[in-house]
Amino acid sequence: MNEKTTAASLEQRLQAGRFLITAELAPPVSCDADDLRAKAALLKGLPDAVNVTDGAGARAHMAALAAAATLVGMGIEPILQITCRDKNRIALQSEMMGAAALGIRNLLLLTGDDPKAGDQPDTKPVFDINSAALIETARRLRDRGELPTGRKVAGKASFFIGAADMPIDPPAGWQPNALLGKIKSGAQFVQTQFCMDAALLRRYIGALEAAGITRQLAILVGVNPLRSAKSAQWMKSHLFGTIIADDLIARLEQAADPAREGIKICAELIEDYSTVPGVAGVHIMAPGNDAAIADVIEAVRK
């Protein structure tokens, strides 16, 4: 990427048939923008876009909108996460208008983690609307230039709208009704929870193809540069929806350098997923292990 890259390029690259690589960045617990810039600098020029999380884990950090605007200034294309947990519909609509005004076009619209899972469990959640309504609001703002009330909005919101997904091993007769609902609301791409099992992913994508999903929605599969067998097993047991194949955990157990092996495994999976029809790309998440994201992308790009 260069300083002239705009958020629209993510959608353009997708339309051009490029296999996308996005990465996730949690803004720091800091009032200093340089702390964010130091984290983001590790990724500059590597992924196609960088997700900026919105209170991930139900914990406070630098505001996602401010962080995304900072990335724009660095020439890094952001994907702004917005959750329903902390704001009512008025605040959410205002945040979307602010994002458009700041040149932020990629949105990942989410329900948000329950505050009870964070470090301030007495926090009162908002959840005024759900993620489907939030997606519909973004589409209406983009396509009709108006709020849900019908009130007209000046300017242009050129949003590329995303949602979350959770792969499963589809049983006989299963239908992807949740994804169909998100498409109906206005989602154009989804980023999934960790899915590090190539055989299962192929079965899942096959079910989506049969339902016509992959022709309407770009699927970006979540992956992680696993640091050890212990951490992989913890993720599999405690992070809802996480899929990690047992043979990958065995490889980590046997590796002389598990962290390096985890980077190798992640790069191999990305190469494999790039051959799966219906998979538009991957989304690399590595909480607390940001430097490994760059290592994985560099390995794949080679």
Q: Residue 85: CB partners within 8 Å, gap ≥ 6?
A: 55, 58, 111, 112, 113, 114, 115, 125, 126, 127
Note the CATH number of domain 8-165: 3.20.20.220
pLDDT, tens digit (0-9, with 9 covering 90-100), for 272-295 = 999 999 999 999 999 989 899 999
Q: 0.85 exceeded by the pTM?
A: yes
Q: Taking the domains of the chain in order of start, what are their residue ranges? A: 8-165
pLDDT tops 60 at residue 5: no
Identify whether the C-beta of residue 276 lies closer than 8 Å to the C-beta of residue 202: yes
Nearest to 192 by CA among 163, 231, 171, 225: 163
Residue with tokens 């985890």: 262
Q: What is the pLDDT of residues 239-275, one digit of tens each?
A: 999 999 999 999 999 999 999 999 999 999 999 999 9
